[in-house]
Amino acid sequence: MSLTTVADDSGRAVVRGARDESEKRAVAAAIAIPPVVVQAKSHGHAGTAMAMAPLAHTLFHRVLRHNPANPGWEGRDRFILSAGHASLLLYTQLHLSGYDVTLDDIAKSRTLDARTPGHPELGVTPGIEMSTGPLGQGFASAVGLALALRRDAALHDSGEGVWGSTVFTLAGDGCLEEGVSAEAASLAGTLGIDNLVAIWDDNRITIDGATDLAFSEDVRGRFRAYGWNVLEIEDFRNLDEIERVLETARSTTGAPTLVAVRSVIASPSEKIGGTSAGHAGALGAEETQTVLETLGFPPNATLDELVDDDTYTVMREAKRRGERLEREWTVRLNAWRSRHPELASQRDRLAAAAPDEASSALDTVPLPDEGQSVATRKTNGAVVAALARAGLVFGGSADLSGSTNVALPGDAVTADNPGGDFVHFGIREHAMAAILSGIALHGLWRPYGSTYLAFSDYQRPSIRLAALMGLPATYIYTHDSVAVGEDGPTHQPVEQIASLRTVPGLAVVRPADAAEVVSAWKAVVSLPPAPTAFILSRQDVPVLAHRDDLDAKVRNGAYVAWQEGAGNDVALIATGSEVALAIEAARDLAREGVTSRVVSMPCVEWFAQSSADWQESVLPAAMRARVAVEAGCGDAWYRWVGREGGVVSIDEFGESGAGDEVLARKGVTVSAIVAAAQTSLEAVGRSVSEDGHIADEQGRS
């Protein structure tokens, strides 16, 4: 059956604007593959993948600068599928344009160990730029990726057109309903990020029904108000129109562009198309057969029968196109290197930034003398400044740069200054975290973003995705406990540290003093890429006595920071500002004849990953009397203190008042630590006699 006859004679063309019969067949196959795959397994999302297939084909075969033979080509455009549930749309185009994704891979989608998971995952499937699925996250991270690419071009390109990549993202109604996309879109418009093209699948359908159940706003008007250009694709099946609009969007300068596509979900299905039933699940055997016939295929066609020789002709052309684009770019790259050797050297240095370079920059950070009191946020600010001078980090703050101590000299990124030194993210914590992921995906700079710890909850979904992808984003959180004081419980974090530690792959670092801050950063830049949350004090904390080999000790996550004698009676484990408190308690215990050790544990995750020998040297298994001290929720500390240990923590909201007074009221005191240590000693069958000697349960001292 001829697709041309079916489409044109019916008056409801499945594909318009194809260059030849082969391209029509390729688009028809792209529409047909998702419902066949979903029908075979009775789960998955075919509707958006079907409706957006003509657009995805046009993007991958006519517009996007990419090379299927080299998915990591530096000069490529990027495509992020924010509507990640439509993964079959992306997997199908990766296959049909020649990436190492087979039809068998597509057939196995959403199954254990498949190379095609239910939502796209970075590092699993060739050609995937980031892990997406939670709606709005891909959109927001695309803003960060475009921001970084534009900065790269502003700093290094010198008008040669080498580093001028465009970021395309496909978002659905759900992505635009999520608040993170609104935050990110607002910032993108303010900063005039004009290498960003957001394609909006305006199908007006969500799971519960039509979008007007809960979404009646003028999206186009909203984006114009943000400062975006807005373009329309009137016919979502017309390849020529799609190409024209996308190329116009790519070439538009001065602002990001929203391309609105009025589509019909699950088109060309007559029964399911345009309904909420098209979002997920199989169309049904009969309707799937009808769709296949509409597309010009046998009603029971297999995947191999859908992708015929004509379709593979189109695939081969896509691969030739990609190789040609990369060859042409390489010529421009070599010319750029020849004409701008200093810029090339500078960019090469950033691309290959070694831990030694960052460590050298960190060695320039001045450390206060022992006994001085300095807030860890202040030392951290000096660290960020040192790394920024070396050009190794890029980021900013959510309207708190002075308070979180990340205010840097220089000029901010603006619409007119894309190569600025830092970003004013505004009061957009969630978008900031997602944007950091986009910057990290670009790869030239280690991104950082700062806010108060209490507001980390706004960022949780983006942090989770960064951890899933193993991105080296750094979240700088200050005002780390009820010691925040007078601002009261709304701004005093209690549960946040414990909550962040539950995120797999996220390192949560709470340094005890200035020296630990610097050592922790040295660990971060030398370890394999992963996100890190720095938890820093607002209040001054004492600089502890010099500790030999501190860099190595901190990298192992925990170490003995102070001890009395052999220190084998009781271990006091603490983080952050509570380490100094624990040392005071240890000195009090020493006067009672208790030989204790104070273990500073700046990063629980690093300690858990350290060698068994290191863990035994810090916390010997035989030392059962233990106390953990942290000004936050304490349940998780029983992992380290055991059933006989004690935890001095804060497990209720704080109060408005001076920080030291609130800490005292909530029981984080030297006397509380001493009492907990005595209780733990008794629990393991030991006691403190009146003459200050430790005795076991038989009375032997």
Please give the single-letter amino acid code of residue 578: E
Q: Is 700 exposed, middle or buried (0-12, 13-18, 19+ CB in 10 A)?
A: exposed
Name the region of 456 (left: φ>0; alpha: ψ -120 to 50; beta: rest): alpha
| 429 has catalytic annotation | yes
Q: For residues 638 and 604, give the distance between their C-alpha atoms in angstroms, rounded to a whole number.
A: 13
DSSP tag of 323: H
Inter-residue contact 547 to 559 (CB < 8 Å) = yes
Task: Tell me which amino acid residue 523 is.
Answer: A
Among the listed residues 260, 154, 265, 250, the one whose alpha carbon sits nearest the alpha carbon of residue 199: 260
The SS3 of residue 394 is strand
Q: Is the backbone of residue 650 left (phi > 0), alpha (psi -120 to 50) or beta?
A: beta
Closest Cα partner for 149 from 162, 130, 139? 162
Structure tokens given for 152: 């790269």
Contact 665, 654 (CB under 8 A): no
Shortest CA distance to 235 belongs to which of 260, 271, 212? 260
Q: How many Cα atoms occupy the beta-carbon half-sphere of 240 within 13 Å?
A: 5
Q: Are 138 and 171 spatial neighbours (Cβ–Cβ below 8 Å)?
A: yes
CA–CA distance from 446 to each of 166, 224, 378, 437 (Å)?
21, 32, 20, 10
Residues 257/196, Cβ–Cβ less than 8 Å: yes
Q: How far apart are CA 16 and CA 203, in angstroms?
A: 19
Q: What is the DSSP string of 57-108?
A: HHIIIII----TT-TT-TT--EEEESSGGGHHHHHHHHHHTT-S--HHHHHT
Which one from 241, 429, 564, 578 is the annotated catalytic residue?
429
d(CA 643, CA 638): 7
**Distance (Å, rounded) from C-alpha 387 to C-alpha 360?**
9
- List, by residue number, the catalytic residues: 429
